[in-house]
Chains A and B, each alone.
Chain A
Amino acid sequence: MLRYLGSRLLSLCLSLAVASLVIFAAIEVVPGDPASFMLGLNAEPDTVAALRQELGLEGGYVERYLAWTGGMLHGDFGTSYTYRVPVSELIIARLWVSLPLTIFALIISTAIAIPAGVWAASRRGRPADILVMGTTQLGMAVPNFWFAMILVLIFAINLGWFAAGGFPGWEAGFFTALKSLVLPALSLALFQASILARVMRSSLLETLDQDYVRTARAKGLSRRLAIRNHAMRNAMIPVMTIVGLQFSNLIAGAIIIENVFFLPGLGRLVFQAITQRDLIVVESVVMILVFAVILVNFLVDLSYAVIDPRLRRRR
Chain B
Amino acid sequence: MLSVENLSMAIHGTPILNGVSFEIGRGEVFGLVGESGSGKSMTALGVMRLEPRGAEVSGRVLLEGKDLMREPESRMNALRGREIGMIFQEPMTALNPVKTIGDQVAETLLVHDAADRASARKVAAERLARVGLDPDKVPLSRYPHELSGGQRQRVCIAMAVALRPKLLIADEPTTALDVTTQAQILKLLKSLVEEDGMSLMLITHDLAVVAGMAHHVAVMRDGGIVEQAPTARLFRERAHPYTAKLFSDSGHVPRREPDTSVKPVLQVLGATRDYPVGSSLFGPRQHFRAVDDVDLTVYEGESVGLVGESGCGKSTLTRAILGLDPLEGGSIELDGTPVIAGQVPHALRRGMQVVFQDPYGSFNPRHRVGRLVAEPFHLDSVPETERDRRVAEALEAVGLTPADRDKYIHEFSGGQRQRIAIARAIVIRPRLLILDEAVSALDVSIRAQILDLLADLQQRFRLSYLFISHDLSVVRAITDRVLVMQAGRIVEEGETGTVLTAPQHPYSRKLIAAVPRIPEAWVA
Contacts and interface: CB of A to CB of B under 8 A. Distances in A.
Contacts of B82: 220
A308 B73 contact: no
Contacts of A307: 98
A32 interface: no
A211 B159 CA distance: 14
A6 interface: yes
A56 B417 CA distance: 69
Contacts of A230: 96, 99
Interface residues of B, number: 35
B50 A215 contact: no
A310 interface: yes
A307 B98 CA distance: 7
B280 interface: yes
Contact of B73 (A6, A216, A222): A222
A212 interface: yes
Contacts of B94: 211-212, 214-215
A230 B99 CA distance: 8
A309 interface: yes
Most buried by B among A211, A212, A218, A234: A218
A309 B142 CA distance: 10
A148 B93 CA distance: 46
B77 A233 contact: no
Given A7-B281, A229-B107, A218 B93 contact: no
B139 interface: no
A219 B93 contact: no
A212 B97 contact: yes
B159 A219 contact: yes
Given A218-B160, A222-B77, A233-B98, A211 B108 contact: no
Given A3-B280, A220-B112, A221-B111, A212 B96 contact: yes
B95 A215 contact: yes
Contact of B85 (A218, A233, A315): A218
B56 interface: no
B370 interface: no
B81 A219 contact: yes
A197 to B, nearest CB: 22
Contacts of A225: 111
Contact of A220 (B79, B88, B95): B79
A310 B143 contact: yes
A222 B108 CA distance: 12
A210 interface: yes
Interface string A179-221: 0000000000000000000000000000000111011111111
Contact of B95 (A3, A212, A308): A212
A281 to B, nearest CB: 38
B88 A215 contact: yes
Contact of B93 (A7, A211, A217, A233): A211
B22 to A, nearest CB: 20
A216 B96 contact: yes
Contacts of A7: 281
Contacts of B73: 222
B98 A309 contact: yes
A220 to B, nearest CB: 3
A230 B74 CA distance: 19
B90 A310 contact: no
Most buried by B among A3, A10, A216, A308: A216
Contacts of A219: 80-81, 85, 107-108, 111, 159-160
Contacts of B145: 309-310, 313
B108 A220 contact: yes
Interface in A264-315: 307-310, 313, 315
Contact of B88 (A6, A211, A310): A211
Interface in B61-100: 73-74, 77-82, 85-86, 88, 90, 93-99
B143 A222 contact: no
B143 A309 contact: yes
B156 interface: yes
Contacts of B281: 3, 6-7, 10
Given A234-B96, A307-B98, A217 B50 contact: yes
A315 B73 CA distance: 45
A212 B111 contact: no
A62 to B, nearest CB: 28
A259 B95 CA distance: 51
Contacts of B369: none
Contacts of A220: 77-82, 108, 111-112
Given A220-B111, A229-B107, A211 B90 contact: yes
A309 to B, nearest CB: 4
B478 interface: no
Interface in B36-59: 48, 50, 53
A271 B29 CA distance: 75
Nearest to A229: B107
Nearest to B85: A218
Contacts of A210: 93
Contacts of A211: 88, 90, 93-94
Contact of B80 (A3, A124, A218): A218
Contacts of B107: 216, 219, 221, 229
A222 B74 contact: yes
A212 B93 contact: yes
Give 4 nearest A-B pairs by CB, closest first.
A220-B81, A211-B93, A218-B86, A219-B81
Interface of B: 48, 50, 53, 73-74, 77-82, 85-86, 88, 90, 93-99, 107-108, 111-112, 143, 145-146, 156, 159-160, 279-281
Given A214-B88, A218-B50, 4 more contacts: A214-B94, A218-B85, A218-B160, A219-B108
26 contacts: A6-B281, A10-B281, A211-B90, A212-B93, A214-B88, A215-B88, A215-B95, A215-B156, A218-B50, A218-B81, A218-B86, A218-B160, A219-B80, A219-B111, A220-B78, A221-B81, A222-B73, A225-B111, A229-B107, A233-B98, A234-B96, A307-B98, A308-B98, A309-B97, A309-B143, A309-B145
